Structures are given as C-alpha cells and as structure tokens.
Amino acid sequence: MPAEDVMALFSPSASDWITTIMTRDGRVLNRRITPGNGMSEMDALVLSIRASNLRDSDVVDQSARRAGDNVLVVSEADDHFQKLMRRFR
C-alpha cells in the first residue's frame, strides 16, 4: 500500500465529523472524528460520547456536522448554540 494511502487514514479531511455535546453540568464538548468516511452521524456521536467518558444520562443535547460543511448563522433565532443554551436554562 502506498504511503499516501496510509497517511490519508490519519489526515484531517472534509468528510470528518465535528461533534458537539452539551452535558447536564453545562459543558460543551467538541470533537473531530477522523476518518469520517463510511461512518454514520450516529456512529460519530456515540464514539464522541464514549471518548469523552460520558454516560448517556449525562448528555442534554448533541449534534454532528461534516468538517467540510459551511455553516452560516443568519440570525440569533437560527443560532444552534443559542437554542441549546435556551433549552439548557
């Protein structure tokens, strides 16, 4: 196997998952799951929760997006982080 193919397994790419987990104690944890190829959104979230040593009951909310996705926040009403904070209160 060529070295370029092996390095692609460990290099960040646009297909990686970026997960965000909000916990009951108010922490917001972000993780990049690499490689993201062939992994579903749910698998990435489960892996992120387990890697953070959290129980399912510790998680208030969770989301995932592809690292290559462009996100544009139009207004505070559409801001996912603000929605999370309102739900947490």
Domain boundaries defined on the chain: 3-88
**pLDDT over 60 (residue 44):** yes
Residue 43, token pair as written in the block: 């698998």
Q: What is the mean pLDDT of the chain?
A: 81
pLDDT in the model for residue 78: 60
**Mean pLDDT, residues 5-33:** 83
Provide the H-helix boundaries in the chain: 3-10, 41-51, 80-88
Q: What pLDDT, in 10s, does the model give residues 60-71? A: 999 999 988 876
Residue 74 has pLDDT above 60, yes or no: no
- Cβ atoms 23, 60 nearer than 8 A: yes
pLDDT in tens, 80-89: 777 777 777 6
Q: Does the model's pTM come out above 0.85?
A: no
